[in-house]
Structures are given as structure tokens and as C-alpha cells.
Amino acid sequence: MPLYAYKGIGANGKTTAGVKDADSPKLLRQLMRKEGVVVTEFDISKGGKKGKAGGSGLKKEVNLGDLFGRVGKGEIAAFTRQLATLLRAGIPLAEALGALFEQIENPKFKAIVGEIRLAVNEGSSLADALAKHPVVYDNLYVSMVRAGELAGNLDEVLSRLADFMESAGQLKAKVQSAMIYPVIMALIAVVIIGILMVAVVPKITSVFTQQGKVLPWHTSLLIGLSDFIANYWWLIAGLTAAGIYGFRAWSRSPGGRPVWHQFLLRVPMAGSLIRQLAISRFTRTMGTMLSSGVPMLRALETAKEILGNVILMDAVDRARTAVSEGESLAITLRKSGHFPPTVTHMIAVGERAGELESMLLRVSDAYESQVQTRLDRLTGVLEPLVLVFMGTFVAFVIFSILVPIMDMSSSF
């Protein structure tokens, strides 16, 4: 039965959208009319064409994934966990996908799962069906599912994949939550300084300029800064925006990206945190993929993209080439100089013992703990730095204003 994405007008007169199973466009309109919705536009999810209600048919093929919003990682992890549970209970894959389709609320995700279910019903493998939606299901996900299908342990692989996604989500949430407070404090400091320089300082310093007396250098500097910000704020905003745009373009260019990523790895405190975070993600990805039956070379190729730093990615790429020629993974990573000796030693032990997968996961667990410690230490340094900067500037403003006032009062 085809799956349609529709847009229409509800009984309350407001625009509505969703997805619905129907044998034909005519039946779709009938079903939706019973629910109080007049269909104005619809799309068929597989090999269909777009049409308007009341038209003679469908007009062009579309991608349903572009009709609605994004699909969150949490939704994908929950879907993966539920699918693993249903398969473990002995429910056939197509039936399990149908059951999950009924309970998904996100319209875009529901349309995608509907297409996957339709492809599986038509004889496609789950991995091939997932590969048609790379925005939602990346290479890592598809590779692990394909390995699970070939090995006959798809439920177990999906369970591991759900664990991996949940762990990655938790690590990302830790990093984001740790940086929220310093960022908010910095923004508040900028706003307060802007208000002082544009609204408060000009009114107070206008009294000094009317007296015609020679002002201290710091008071003259404050007045000059205040006048410049008040009169040329548009220039400051424009140059800031242009600088940010230019930096982003340079840092993403083939020539600038390696330089920037190398600099990030060398920044005190932050560099070691970035390295540990990347290694934690890399080893967890490798461990999860290898334990699910994904071949070593494919696992290295996929896990390389998780690193997010071209310097580390290049090291893994050279390691992949060396492993394909029969060399040890631990030795090649050690030669790169970008992976700490502890990591390469544990990988070497795992290779000798035939337990590389579990050893990689242990490395990831250890590094996640270190990342949390580093985050706490970094935020512990950033917070007082922001407060000190803000306090120093406010003190400068107060001092620059009070000194002339005291001079004026002493002259009377």
C-alpha cells in the first residue's frame, strides 16, 4: 500500500500536514475527509509524483524527506532500540517496521520509515533501504546493519548501535552543557559593556567636556571608545560579521583547514581536550563496528570521519593503508605521533589477545571519564576569566569617571 504525505485544511480552518497509507489518491481524499481534513496537496513516497487535490493526477517525483523538519539523533536511537527489541522477540522485520511506523510522531521520520518498510516488503535488504536516506542513516549505521544481516544477528547489532548512539549523545550533551555557562557569561559581559559605552558613559562624560579642562589619559580613552562605538557600531558589526565569515571560509578551505586543526590540537588545555574527545569517539566507533562484524578496513574508513580533525583523520588514513598491507594497527597509530602511548599500548594488547573490540571500548570508557574531568577543569578556568575581564573593565570605567569628578570637587 503506497504511503502518501499530504497537506490540507483541517476543520478549524488551519493548514495541516501528515502521512497516510492509502491504495489510491481518491481513497486518500476519502480517508482524510472522514477525519475532517480537505487535502490540497499530496505526494507518494515511492516512485510517485506530486499532485494537487482536484487535479487529474500526479505531476513530478519528490523526496518526502524535504517536506518536513529534521530527524533528531535521539529519535533514531530510540527507533533502533525498539527495532532491536521487536526482532529479539521474534517479530519479522517488515512487521516490526510497520509497528514502529504507527507510533512515530515526527512526519519526516515517519515518511522515511514508511519508505524503508515499503522497500523491505519489496525484497530489499534493510541496509540497502537505509542507504537511500544518508541524511538520517550514515555510513556507520548502514555498515553495521549490513554486517548484522550477513551474520544473522541483526537484533544484537541494532542493540549495540543503540548503545553507541546513546553514549555518543550523552558525551555530546556533557560537552554542550559544560560550555553553556561560560558562553552565557561572555554574552552578558558583552551586552553590559555595550550598554555602558553607548548609553551610560556619554551622559556622564559630557559634563567633563563642557568644563573644558584637561582630562586624564584614561578618561580621554574612555570617551574616545564610547564615541567610536556609538557612532560606528554599524562598522564594528560589519567588520565582525565579515571577519567571522572570512575565518569560517578559510578554516574550511583545503589550505586553511589543516592549519586550523593543527592549531586547535596545540592550544593549551583545549587542545588536549579536543584530542581526547576525538580519540574517545574514534575508539568507541571502531569497537562497536568490529564487535558487530564490520571488516577492519571498512571500520577504519567509517570511524575516520568521526574524528572531525583532518590531522587525526590523515593519521588514521595512513594507518588504514598500512593495515591493508599487513601491518599492526597499534604500530601505525604509534608512528603517527597523534595517539597517546597508553592508547596504542592497549590496542596492541587487544590485537595480541584477539580482543581488539573490547579493548577499544575500554579505551573509550577511560577517555570519556578523562574528557569529563578536563571539561570541569576548563570551565573552572573560563568562568573566573570572564568575571575578571568584566570586573576589570567596569573598574576601568568607574575609575575613569571618578578621577575627574574628584578633581572638579577639589577645585571648588
Mean pLDDT on 342-355? 88
DSSP 241-310: HHHHHHHHHHHTSTTHHHHHHHHHHHSTTHHHHHHHHHHHHHHHHHHHHHHTT--HHHHHHHHHTTS--H
Q: Report which of residues 390 and 79 the model is more confident about.
A: 79
User: Among 105-114, 140-149, 209-218, 319-328, where is mean pLDDT lowest?
Assistant: 209-218
222 and 359 housed in the same domain: yes
In-domain check, residue 253: yes
Distance from C-alpha of 340 to C-alpha of 130, rounded to nearest angstrom: 36
Q: What's the whole-model pTM score?
A: 0.65
Give the domain-ending residue among 120, 136, 165: 165
290 and 321 housed in the same domain: yes
In-domain check, residue 56: yes
In-domain check, residue 113: yes
Mean pLDDT on 231-252? 90
pLDDT of residue 46: 42
- The number of folded domains in the chain is 3
Domain CATH number, residue 410: 1.20.81.30
Confidence grade of residue 54 (pLDDT, cut at 50, 70, 90): very low
354 and 207 housed in the same domain: yes
Question: What does the pLDDT look like over 8-18, one tens digit per residue?
Answer: 777 666 677 77
Asked if residue 239 has pLDDT above 90, the reply is yes
* Strand partners for 8: 16, 39
**Residues belonging to the chain:** 412
Under 8 Å between Cβ of 230 and 198: yes
* Average pLDDT taken over every residue of the chain: 80
10 and 138 housed in the same domain: no
Asked if residue 350 has pLDDT above 70, the reply is yes
Question: What does the pLDDT look like over 370-409, one tens digit per residue?
Answer: 887 877 777 777 778 878 888 888 888 888 878 777 776 6
DSSP 130-195: HHT-TTTS-HHHHHHHHHHHHHT-HHHHHHHHHHHHHHHHHHHHHHHHHHHHHHHHHHHHHHHHHH
186 and 284 housed in the same domain: yes
Asked if residue 306 has pLDDT above 60, the reply is yes
Element spanning 42, H or E: strand 38-44
Give the domain-ending residue among 165, 186, 216: 165
Mean pLDDT on 357-379? 83
243 and 348 housed in the same domain: yes
Q: Which has the closest alpha carbon to 75: 112, 121, 45, 46?
A: 112
In-domain check, residue 222: yes
pLDDT of residue 69: 55
183 and 133 housed in the same domain: no
Confidence grade of residue 329 (pLDDT, cut at 50, 70, 90): confident
In-domain check, residue 116: yes
Asked if residue 19 has pLDDT above 90, the reply is no
In-domain check, residue 349: yes
Element spanning 5, H or E: strand 3-9
C-alpha cell recorded at residue 11: 476543520
In-domain check, residue 67: no
129 and 260 housed in the same domain: no
261 and 319 housed in the same domain: yes
201 and 154 housed in the same domain: no
368 and 285 housed in the same domain: yes
Distance from C-alpha of 42 to C-alpha of 19, rounded to nearest angstrom: 9
Range of the domain at 78: 73-165
pLDDT of residue 62: 39
Question: What does the pLDDT look like over 149-174, one tens digit per residue?
Answer: 887 888 888 888 888 888 878 877 87
